[in-house]
Amino acid sequence: MWYALSRLLTGALAGALLAVPAPAHAAGAPAPTRPAVSAPGYWHTSGRTVVDAADQPVRIAGVNWFGFETTNLVPHGLWARDYRAMLDQIRATGYTTVRLPFSDDVFTGTPNGIDFGNGRNADLAGLNSLGVMDKLVSYAGSVGLRVILDRHRPDSAGQSALWYTPAVPESTWLAHLRAMAARYRGDPTVVGIDLHNEPHDPACWGCGDVATDWRLAAERGGEAVLAGNPDLLVFVEGVQSYHGDTYWWGGNLQGAGTYPVRLSVPHRLVYSAHDYATSVYAQPWFSDPSYPANLPGLWSKNWGYLFQQGTAPVWLGEFGTTLASTTDQTWLRTLVTYLRPTATYGGDSFGWTFWSWNPNSGDTGGILNDDWTTVNTTKDAYLLSIKAGGTPGPGPAGCSAAYRIDNQWGTGFTATVTVTNTGAAPTAGWRVTWTWPGDQRIVNVWNAAETRTGQVESVTNAAWNGVLGAGAATSFGFQAGYTGANGVPTPTCAAT
C-alpha cells in the first residue's frame, strides 16, 4: 500500500488501462455452514480452503496493522497507545488475524515512535525491531489472534516493483524469509508469510525471465520460507499485467491458472490479491455504464476464479476505501457479498485482511478513527457478515429517532434529528417518519432525503450515512417554516 500517494500507476500507464470484459465463473451451490474459527495448531490448505490442525475450514478475517515497513520499524500508533490494548481491541472488534507488513530493515534498524509514558509499552524499551515483533506476536497469540507476516518492501524508503533492488539483492530477500520463518518456528500464532507486497511492472507471470518472472521467484521465496518452517502457509500475490491486461498492483492472478506456483511441501500455497476503490485510484471499470454489475466478473477473471474452480485458497490481503463517495460505498458492499457471508458458507470462503487498522492511510483511512482509539463503526459494519463469526449480530437491526429544535424565529426554525441504531445488527439504511401537528413545512434538508404526503413527513438516509453499526448514530437537519404554534412531532424510525 502506498498510503497517501497514488499506489499504482504513472500517468502514462493510467491512460493505458482498459476495462476488463470479465465473464463470471459459477460460484457453486452454497455449502453448509462450517467452522470459520480455528483449533490450536498450524493451518494448511485443502483444495480451495484453509483448514486448521483438525482439518476444519477456517476463515482468515482480519486487518492490516502497518508500520514495521516504515522508518518507524514498529507498528504505527504505539506513540498513542500500548500495543496490548491495540491487539485487545482488534480481537474484541471481531477480527481474528493481523497482517503485519515489514521491510528488510527490521533486521538491522532501530525502532522509534513508541510512547513509554504512564507505563505504556514498558516491556518494549530497549528492544530492536525484531524484539518488538516478538512481543507483538507473543501477545497476539495469547489473546487468540493469528499473524501473517508480510514482506512489504526491501527497505523502508518505499515500495519496489520487483522483490529485489540494487541495495537489497534476491539473496538477502531469501535469507530474510528463511530467518523470519525460522524465528517463529514452533509458534503457530504466525500462520504464514506473504512473500512480497504488490509486484508490478516489469514483474511478469510465466514469462520465463528469471529476473522478472514473479511466479518463478515466488517458488524460490516459498522454498526459503518452508526451509525455515515447513508448517507455514506461503502467500503469493499477483502482478500488475498479464498478456497486456492490466489490473491493481499485486491483484492480477490471471496467469496462475496456466502457470501455477509449485512448492515442495504440499498444502501450503495460498494465492493473494489486492483490490481497491476510487479513493485509491479511479480505475476505468468504476465509470463503466454497467457498474457495479461488472465487478463480480472482473474479480473472478483476475483472482476469484482460483477459488471458484477449486485450484487453491484465495486471500484478499488488502482492500480498503475512505467510503467518501457513493461509488466506493457500492464497491465495498458488492465486494463483501462476493467474498461470501460466513453465516452461509463458513470457512468455505475467501480470506481477507482489510486495509487498514491504522487511521493514517491517506487514501483509505482505517477501522480506527483519527484518535487512534475509537472504531469507525460505519466502516466496520460493512465487514460484519464476513468476519469469522459470520453473523451481523444476534438480533435484527432497529433504530430510534430523537427530534430537537435548534433555533426558532418568527416564522421559521431549524431542527436536528438524531438516528441511533438500537439493534444488534448493522443497518443498511433507515427511514424516519412523523406527522406534523401544525402547518410546518420543510424548505431545506441536509444529510438526508425528504418527501412529504399530506401532513406525513418521510426522511431517508443519504448514500453515505445509511450503514450504522450497533449503537452508532448519525443525524440530519432541516430548515422549516410555520405559522401559529410550532408543535413538536413524535418521529419513528425503521431500519432496513
Selected catalytic residue, list 69, 223, 318, 457: 318
Q: How far, in Å, CA of 263 to CA of 312, rounded? A: 13
Q: Are residues 379 and 390 in contact, defined by beta-carbon separation less than 8 angstroms? A: no
Selected catalytic residue, list 198, 223, 237, 457: 198
Q: Are residues 58 and 52 in contact, defined by beta-carbon separation less than 8 angstroms? A: yes
318 is catalytic: yes
Residues labelled as active-site residues: 198, 318
